[in-house]
Structure formats: C-alpha cells, structure tokens
Amino acid sequence: MIRTHTALTAVVVAAGLLLGGCGSDASGTPAVPVVADASKVDMCTILTDAELIALGIEPATHKPMDQLGIVGCRWLGKPFTLRLERDEETVAEYVARRDDPAFTIFRENAVNDRAGVQLSVRPNGDQCEQLIDGGSVSLAVSVALAFSLSPPKIDPCAEALRIAEMIEPRLPQGGE
C-alpha cells in the first residue's frame, strides 16, 4: 500500500479537530491533542499475571509474536483468547482505510480520552480488535471467542474495549 504524507497529515489533523474540538493556540493554529509516542510499550507485560487470570486467561500460554511490523503476545483462555500488540500502522492510517471491504466491523470510538477504532475481518462476529492511539503506532487488544459447544454470551468488541480501558492509563501520556 502506498501511503502519502499529505493524505496522512490531513487525516491526522482532521481526526484531531474532530476529537479535540476546533480550538486554537495563541498563534491561531488549530490545536491538535498531543498523544505521546507509545512505540516502546511492551504489550506482553502491560497486564499482570493476576489481571490475566481474572480475565480467564492462562499466563502460562503466553506466546510472543513479531510479524510484519506487529509486535506483541497472545494467550489462550476461556471464554476467549487474547492478543495484545503494538502495530506500526497508526489509528489515523486505519481510519483512512475504513472502507476496506476486508473489514466486517469498523467503528471509530474512544478508549478513555484517546482515539480508537474497533474492527474485525471475521464475518461470524467471534473476534474483535480494539485499537488505541499510541502516536506513531497503534496498540491493539484483540479478543476471539474460544471454541465451545455452548459458547458464552460475550460480545468480543465490548470485552476488547474493557481491556483496552484497563491498559490505556498505563500508556505514555502527552508531553512525556
């Protein structure tokens, strides 16, 4: 995919204006919310073993991943499996591709006060990914329902957002 700097800048500025209001600084320049760079966040250690267990995740199933600019870990659990990742593609870049036919779900939202996106590429609704704005990267929480003959009544998107809201306060804040 070819990405142009001008289009990306326009998307980032537009998203900033929508999320942060149309205010301006003393020079009259539109104010864009500052999101600290989260490119060094270790998504494999951002939740404690006790937190993983409380979510129904087995810490011993931890498996690191590093593929195509996506770095993180996955765990098995019941009633769902969990992936926590850092993606070199930003939330703004995902928003620019919102009409990609591969997405079966695509919703812009917020994780606490950060821009976010929920998406899925699976048509059966058993998986959802919540992206969190991390400045030069996006941070992803992916929940996929575990196989079961009698699956629990869990909304993977609601669960991914809930976990993302747990993680967000631990991320670098603007100005750090």
Please check the confidence at residue 32 and state whether its pLDDT lies above 80.
no
On whether the CB atoms of residues 86 and 68 are closer than 8 A, the answer is no
Termini Cα distance of the chain: 32
| pLDDT single digits (tens) 75-133 | 999 889 999 999 999 999 999 999 999 999 999 999 999 999 999 999 988 999 999 99
Q: How far, rounded to the nearest angstrom, does the alpha carbon of residue 130 sit from its chain's CA centroid?
A: 4
Report yes or no on whether pTM surpasses 0.85: no
- Lowest pLDDT segment from 69-73, 102-106, 116-120, 145-149: 145-149
Q: Which parts of 68-163 are beta strand (E)? A: 70-75, 80-87, 105-111, 114-120, 127-133, 138-145
**What is the distance between the alpha carbons of residues 166 and 74, in angstroms, rounded to a whole number?**
17
Ramachandran angles phi, psi of 129, nearest 5°: -120, 130
Nearest of 80, 63, 73, 13 to residue 41 by alpha carbon: 73
Structure tokens at 68: 């195509």
Confidence of residue 30 (pLDDT cuts 50, 70, 90): very low
